[in-house]
Amino acid sequence: MPSNSLKSARQHMTFFFYCSLLLAIFFLFQIRYTLNISFANWTLSQYVLLFLFFSFLTICGLKYYSYSRDLKMDRVRMDLEEKKLNLKKMAIREQVASMNPYDFGELVADLFRMKGFKRIFLTPRMNKHFYDIEMYLDDQKILVSCLLNALDYPIPQSYLDRLHLMMRSNQIDQGVFVTLGHFSKECYEFSDDKPIYLINGDELIETLIHSSDD
């Protein structure tokens, strides 16, 4: 996304372009109908008009050069910021991937605590590779499933079937599934008409970055 300074520069440049266009039309009109071909017949006002015209062209050239230079510098700065952000995301992803499943569950629980959720309980499932979190927001009970899976395969829909079944069995209105990996297309189709919110690895890393900046 363009930075605020880049947006402002584009707005100023657009305004300057239209003003330049109007002035250029005015000068061309004056030159066409007031200047004589013979220099001997020129008056002082005609020399002044020609001087203003060339001054106008010089100012336009300098303005466009300045804008082009600022645009290039801003793009370079944005590229550097994007590279730094990508490196930061990679470092955080590697750090999270090196956690054991329980620490990953605690990390997810801490993120929800920061968002104001209360009474958060962490329970191991499926040979301690799968953790469920029960938490409350006001009087609403929410069930969160978190799985620190490998990044080379998507989360299957069967895991969401399990989450949805537990929600129905325990009369829980809302569920969340969190993973460092990614979900299959079937998962998104399955959760589309259900009160289940999916958080994949990219969204989780973004949340961790925002929470560290706050």
Q: Are residues 108 and 207 in the same domain?
A: yes
Q: Which of 45, 77, 97 is the last residue of a domain?
A: 97
User: What pLDDT score does 39 carry?
Assistant: 56
Each of the 214 residues of the chain gets a pLDDT tens digit; together they read: 445 666 666 676 777 777 777 777 776 676 666 655 555 666 676 677 777 777 777 877 777 777 778 778 878 888 888 898 889 888 988 888 888 888 888 888 888 888 888 888 777 664 555 778 888 887 788 888 888 775 567 888 988 998 899 888 888 889 999 998 889 899 999 999 899 999 999 999 998 888 766 6
> Residue 149's Cα: distance from chain center in Å?
25
Cβ-in-10-Å burial (0-12, 13-18, 19+) of 204 comes to buried
Query: Do 88 and 149 fall into the same domain?
Result: no
E-strand ranges in the chain read 118-125, 130-137, 140-147, 174-179, 196-199
Q: Indicate if 105 and 189 belong to the same structural domain.
A: yes
Indicate whether 54 and 69 sit together in one domain.
yes
- pLDDT of amino acid 128: 53
In degrees, rounded to 5, the angle at the alpha carbon of residue 29 between the alpha carbons of residues 28 and 30 is 90
| Same structural domain, 57 and 132 | no
CA neighbor of 3 nearest in space, from 106, 73, 56, 85: 73
119 and 67 in a common domain: no
Residues 159 and 202 in one domain: yes
Last residue of a domain, one of 65, 97, 129: 97
Q: Are 192 and 159 in contact (CB under 8 A)?
A: no
If DSSP codes are grouped into helix, strand and coil, which group holds residue 38? Answer: coil
Determine the Cα–Cα distance for residues 147 and 153; give it in Å rounded to an integer: 13
Q: Tell me the CATH number at 202.
A: 3.40.1350.10
What is the pLDDT, as a whole number, of residue 34?
Answer: 63
Query: What is the total count of domains within the chain?
Result: 2
Residue (of 23, 98, 83, 33) closest to 56 by Cα position: 23
Please provide the distance, in angstroms rounded to a whole number, between the alpha carbons at the two ends of the chain.
21
**C-alpha pair distances (Å), 87 with each of 93, 204, 206:** 10, 16, 13
Look at residues 80, 97, 114 and tell me which one is the last residue of a structural domain: 97
Same domain, 111 and 208: yes
For residues 202 and 190, membership in a common domain is answered with yes
- Residue 1 is predicted with a pLDDT of 43
Residue 90 shares a structural domain with residue 126: no
176 forms beta bridges with 144, 197
Is 124 in the same domain as 35?
no
Range of the domain at 126: 101-213
Q: In 3-state terms, what secondary structure has residue 153?
A: coil
Verify that 202 and 111 share a domain, yes or no: yes
